[in-house]
Structure 1
C-alpha cells in the first residue's frame, strides 16, 4: 500500500533521556501541529532529526529510541554536533533565514556551512530512499532541506515529490545575492509540485527560475528535462476546532488545574478588572517585529498618558536559536525595552 512520507528538519516528537531510559513526547511546533492531521490520518511515515546529536545518544539506547519513534510513526536521521552547527545554526539560520526575510545585513555566506548543508541534505535524501517505495508520495518541508528533492529525484526519477516552503521566498534582486542560488533552485526543481504560502512568494520563485536558470515558465508551470513542475500557493491554516475546544475546556478548570500562565493572567485581571489586555504570542525572532511592537506601545502611552494602567500589553516570546548572535542581541534589546516601559 502506498504511503505518504513527510520529511522535515525536526520530528513531530521530542526525545527525553532520563534515568537511563527514553521517552518520546509529541511536539507543539508549528509544522508538527499543522501536519498532525495528515500524519495521523493515514499510512504515513515522518522522517527527521530527533533533536539529539550522536554525541548525546548513549549507544545502548539506540534501539530503544528507534522503537519509541516508531510508535509515533517516525524515523530519525542521525546528526553530529558539527553537522547541527553548520547545517542548522549555520547555513539554515545564518544564511537562508535572514536572506529570505530580507535581513541582508544578518546574512553570512560561509563555504564550510554550505558544504555541511549539502552533506546533511544528502543524509536526509538517503534516509528517504531507504524507506520509500516507488509508489509512495514524498512530501519535503522547509528551507533546511531545499536540496533534497533533486537528490531523491536523481535516484528515483519516477517517484512523486512535493515541497512546501514555510517561509517567504524573496524577490529576485535579493535571492541573486546568494552565491549558491542556482544549486538551491535546481534542488527545489527536483519536485513535481512546489508550494508557497502566498502568490507573491510563488511569483518571486518563478522570476528567479526564469532569470537565473533560463528555463521556460508558463503561468505556474516550469519545463525541465521533459518534466512539468507545478508551482502554486497554498495558505496554511490551523485546526480551529482543536484550539476552540481547548479554550473551552481550559475555562472550566479549577484553580489547582490551571497552568502557571493562566494563573498569572488571572492575577492581572483581578488587580485591574477594568483594564484592557493585548496578548501577543510569538517566537523570539527578529522577523516578528517584537521590538517595534514594544516601541509602538511606548509611543501610544506617551501620546495618550491617560491610558496608562488602563491597557496592558502581554507578550509571550518563546526563546529560539539562542546561540545565534542576532537572537542574543534581540533578547537583550527586548529586555531593556520592557524594563524601560514598565
Structure 2
C-alpha cells in the first residue's frame, strides 16, 4: 500500500505543559486506541491536534513539539488556539454535532460562530495536509470533527485518494434536517472517494439525506454526484483482540489480577468501562444495579459493580451536570446498600492503565455495556 495519512481531531499523542516543561503521553481516546495498531503496520503519518492550546507555547516550543512528534512518533501536529478549541471543538463538534447525531436534540446548540469556527479549523487541517501530501498518498480522515475536510481537500487535490470514516451514528433524515449546515456537511463528506459508517442503518440514513437534500441518486451504495462517484458502505470497527488476549500472560497484568481477586474475595464482579458521556446510559445502569439489589437482597455483599468513567469534555455544561448526577447516584447506592465491609459500587473517575484494564476484563464475570446511542 502507498503511504497512509491518517487525519483525526486528536493525535494519538497528547502534550501537556506542567511547570514550564512539555510532557508527551499516549492518548486514551477510543479513536486513537482503535487505530494505533493498524497505523503501526504501515508506512504512515498521523495528522491532528496535539492537545495543547497554541496560546500556551512560544515559537521555540512549537518547533520542539513538531520535531519530537515527527522524529519519535511520525505525527504531524495541528496547533489550535483557545478560541478554536472553545468554538470548533467544545462548540460545533460537541455542542452541535455530537448531541444531534446521537438523537439528544434537546442538548444541541445552533450558533453561527460555532459553524464559522468549524469551517476555519477544517480549512486549517486542509492546509496542513497540503504541506506534506504526496501524489500517491492515501488520505484517511476520521470522525465528526472533520466532515468538511474531504471537500476542501478535493478542491485542492482533485485526484487524491480520500477515505472518510464516521465513528458515531449518522441520524435519520428527520433528525439530520434540524442541522442548519446539513447541505454543507453532506457536500463535505462527498468529497471523499469512500465514506464509511459502523452500520447499514447509518449508511441508509446518509444515502436518504443525500438524495432528498442534494438530489443525487445512488445505486448499490454508489452515489453519482455532478462530476464524481462516491462509494458508501458499512465497516464495523473491531478491537485489537490479540493484544488483550495475550496481556493476561504478562507479569504486570497477572499481578493486577491477583490483587483484584484478593480484594474481591468470593464476590462476583460486574464491570462497566466508558467515557463519562450522556450517550452511554451510565445513570441508567447505576439505577438498574440499585433495582437489582432491592429486588434480590440475597446478592448483597456477593457482587460488586466496578464502574470506570473516563473524564470527557469537562468544559461542556451537559457533561458537568452528568458528572454531578453520577457522583450523587453512586453515593446514594453505596449509602443505601453498603455495609462496613462492602461497597456495592467501586467508582473510578479516571482513565486506567492498559495493564489494570486488561486485568479487570479478565476477572470480570459480567460486562455491563448499555449505551443509549453509540457508533
Query: Same fold, TM exceeding 0.5?
Result: yes
Per the normalisation by structure 1, the TM-score is 0.93
Asked if 1:195 is matched to 2:196, the reply is yes
CA distance in 1, matches of 2:25, 2:92: 28
Alpha-carbon contact 2:273-2:308 (below 8 Å) kept: yes
Quote the residue 2:362 is aligned against: none
Which residue among 313, 316, 322 is the counterpart of 1:321?
313
Q: What's the C-alpha RMSD, in Å, of the aligned pairs?
A: 1.7
Structure 1 ranges of 4+ moved more than 2 A: 16-29, 250-254, 265-268
Per the normalisation by structure 2, the TM-score is 0.85
Gaps of 5+ in 1: none
Quote the residue 1:99 is aligned against: 100
CA distance in 1, matches of 2:319, 2:253: 37
Quote the residue 1:81 is aligned against: 82
Q: 1:22 deviation in Å?
A: 3.4
Quote the residue 1:240 is aligned against: 241
Asked if 1:209 is matched to 2:204, the reply is no
Quote the residue 1:25 is aligned against: 25
Quote the residue 2:156 is aligned against: 155
Over 3 Å counting, the alpha-carbon distance change for 1:250 and 1:211 in structure 2 is farther
CA distance in 1, matches of 2:194, 2:143: 14
Q: Deviations over 1:176-196 (max 9, x none)?
A: 110110000000000000000
Q: 1:130 deviation in Å?
A: 1.4
Q: Deviations over 1:182-239 (max 9, x none)?
A: 0000000000000001111111101110111111111201001231100000011111
Asked if 1:268 is matched to 2:268, the reply is no
Alpha-carbon contact 1:24-1:69 (below 8 Å) kept: no
Quote the residue 1:56 is aligned against: 56
Count of residue correspondences: 333
Alpha-carbon contact 1:16-1:23 (below 8 Å) kept: yes
Asked if 1:115 is matched to 2:116, the reply is yes
Alpha-carbon contact 2:92-2:114 (below 8 Å) kept: yes
Q: Deviations over 1:134-168 (max 9, x none)?
A: 22111000000000000000011111100000000
Quote the residue 2:331 is aligned against: 339
Alpha-carbon contact 2:16-2:51 (below 8 Å) kept: no
| Structure 2 residue matching 1:286: 3-state secondary structure | coil
CA distance in 1, matches of 2:88, 2:295: 46
Over 3 Å counting, the alpha-carbon distance change for 1:252 and 1:160 in structure 2 is closer
| Structure 1 residue matching 2:73: 3-state secondary structure | coil
CA distance in 2, matches of 1:252, 1:199: 37
Alpha-carbon contact 2:247-2:253 (below 8 Å) kept: no
Alpha-carbon contact 1:22-1:64 (below 8 Å) kept: no
Alpha-carbon contact 1:125-1:152 (below 8 Å) kept: yes
CA distance in 2, matches of 1:339, 1:19: 35
Alpha-carbon contact 2:154-2:191 (below 8 Å) kept: yes
Alpha-carbon contact 2:248-2:254 (below 8 Å) kept: no
CA distance in 2, matches of 1:294, 1:18: 36
Over 3 Å counting, the alpha-carbon distance change for 1:305 and 1:45 in structure 2 is same
